[in-house]
Amino acid sequence: MGAIYFIRHGQASFGSNDYDQLSPTGHEQGRVLGAALKARGVVPDLIISGSMKRHQETAINCLETLGCDLPMELHQGVNEFNHENVIEVSEPRYVDKLVMMGDMAASGDPRRAFQSFFKGAVTRWVEGEFAHEYAESWADFRARCVAALDDIVKQTNPKGTTLVFTSGGTISVICAHLLGLSDAQAFTINWTLANAGVTKLLAGRDGLHLISVNEHAHLEGGDKALLTYR
């Protein structure tokens, strides 16, 4: 059977001018992941990454530590949904990021306030009633992720190993698809996915098998700051 590892990117830069880049912690998470995969004896023969900066930076850090110099194939099908669009449709005032950050700061706990708001914004998007308001509807995002999964399975060697560097939303859709979960249940997975966590699938003649979800033991132990979720 071919093994496919879906890897969530390391911690991005929440609150900065460019969210789509890794924080210092995110860079270290990628290196720790590479060391963990090397210790497990993982030897990939296909590397796929979303085209977002945080995907590629995670891949570079991981692969350098893993000792893998294979070329990276960019696949936009595994890109994350446009979270900024989901936020701005839910609260048009937040087109101005300073307004959003000000509101969050006024709460006394910006990260918790943002998480609460973002869950509500995502729920509105997933419910689909206002699908026409979004740049990419939930239904279109879900279809894109499933199509990307099918494409990756076709590219995976029957006895090979593929690493896919992607995002939590994409991984959640793929897990929900394989488990037959509802749309609402899909994002209960997303909220628990650790940065640089690993979800493993096996692809064989009898179909796809979800072997593990959100492996993150490599981030636990010594430096507790390495275990992050946003």
Amino acid type, 100: M
pLDDT higher than 90, residue 6: yes
Which helix (H) or strand (E) element contains residue 4? strand 2-8
What does pTM read for this prediction?
Answer: 0.92
Provide the pLDDT confidence category of residue 152 given band limits of 50, 70 and 90. Answer: very high
Cα three-residue angle 186-192-197, rounded to 5 degrees: 105
Provide the pLDDT confidence category of residue 230 given band limits of 50, 70 and 90. Answer: confident
Q: Where are the domains of the chain?
A: 2-81+138-226, 86-135
DSSP letters spanning 111-171:
HHHHHHHHHHHHHHHHH-TTGGGSSS-HHHHHHHHHHHHHHHHHHS-TT-EEEEEE-HHHH
3 state DSSP class of 224: helix
Residue with tokens 């995670």: 58
Read off φ and ψ for residue 196, nearest 5 degrees. 65, 25
pLDDT tens figures, 64-123: 999 999 999 999 999 999 999 999 999 999 999 889 989 889 988 888 898 899 999 999
Q: What is the CATH number of domain 2-81+138-226?
A: 3.40.50.1240
3 state DSSP class of 56: helix
* Helix 24-39 with 53-66: angle, nearest 10 deg: 40
pLDDT tens figures, 170-192: 999 999 999 999 998 988 898 89
* Helix 110-127 with 97-106: angle, nearest 10 deg: 120
Provide the pLDDT confidence category of residue 15 given band limits of 50, 70 and 90. Answer: low
Amino acid type, 58: T
Q: How far apart are the first and last CA of the chain?
A: 33
Which helix (H) or strand (E) element contains residue 208? strand 207-215
Are 188 and 22 contacting, i.e. CB atoms less than 8 angstroms apart?
A: no
